[in-house]
Amino acid sequence: MEYVYNARILAKYTIQRCIHFSKKYTFYISTDISDLAKSVYDKVIRANAIFPTNYDELKKRKNLLVDAKLDLISMVSKIELAQEIIKIKEGSIIHWLGLIDKEMKLIKGVIEKDKERFKFDE
């Protein structure tokens, strides 16, 4: 469940950071970054709601988690781009990327744990 909580913290922090970007960057970068953070949160909530009883459900859960990881990778690249354009404070960047890194590790752990817990035939 920690991965859901961390995704919520990440989404909240991302929205708070993006609100501080100049309005002229709203449609160029801040909306993209906040949409990705909300997408990660949505996907982990949906994945967490699936209690696999067969292979297809397990695969759907894993696909949601993998998609969330891909969104996190996109977030990092967009945050780096924003940093080059907007010059975000170093402390904010370190905290932000730390939340993303933690979420990546938590999701990876859930995927690995699911492999151990659930054994279904394809």
Quote the number of domains for the chain: 1
Indicate the pTM of the whole model.
0.91
The CATH number linked to 87 is 1.20.1440.60
- Provide the domain limits for residue 13: 2-117
Taking only the tens place, the pLDDT of each residue in 28-87 is: 889 999 999 999 999 999 999 999 999 999 999 999 999 999 999 999 999 999 999 888
> Is the residue at 59 inside a domain?
yes
Return all residues near 8 (Cβ < 8 A) that are at least 6 apart. Answer: 41
- Is 120 a residue whose pLDDT tops 90? no
> Is the residue at 96 inside a domain?
yes
Task: Give the residue among 49, 41, 97, 101 at the shortest CA–CA distance from 68.
Answer: 41
Q: What are phi and psi of 22, to 5 degrees?
A: -60, 145
> Is the residue at 122 inside a domain?
no
